[in-house]
Amino acid sequence: MKCPYCGHTESKVVDSRPTEESISIRRRRECLACARRFTTYETVEMLPIVVVKKDGSRQTFDRQKVLRGMIRACEKRPVALGELEKVALDIEQDLQNSMDREIPTSAIGEKVMDRLRTIDQVAYVRFASVYRQFKDIDTFMQELNKLLAEG
């Protein structure tokens, strides 16, 4: 960290504590050359995730959009909203950790379906029917048969 007073590049951390919002860390530093103190803030850098849609268009990832889709699939089902919010956050974390900056919608849809399958199978089938665009009852039955074979 470069000293704002003398420009020296080495300093030591004297005090470190989280900010009130806990979104960054406040550090008091002391320059090793001039001994003057200054404050820095350290935050996590969140790189934007770009979602590549089926038609090739791109848009920024929106966790709320994923959550809305899961809420719709879980309508009138015994699934807590807090659990769905946690799943949406976990999916976003997985995408952030993947280091891929462009994610196809198919990968996101598969992650949602994998998680819904363990939470509520009816919600899973509802989501899958919209996501995979089931064309007829046979496609729907194939998915149900897969679920029955697993369980």
- Per-residue pLDDT tens for 71-87? 999 999 999 999 999 99
- The Cα–Cα gap between 25 and 110 comes to 35
Q: What is the pLDDT of residue 151?
A: 65
Instruction: Answer whether residue 107 shows pLDDT above 70.
Output: yes
Nearest to 83 by CA among 123, 51, 43, 40: 123
pTM: 0.65
Instruction: Answer whether residue 138 shows pLDDT above 80.
Output: no
Segment (H or E) for 45: none
Instruction: Answer whether residue 1 shows pLDDT above 90.
Output: no
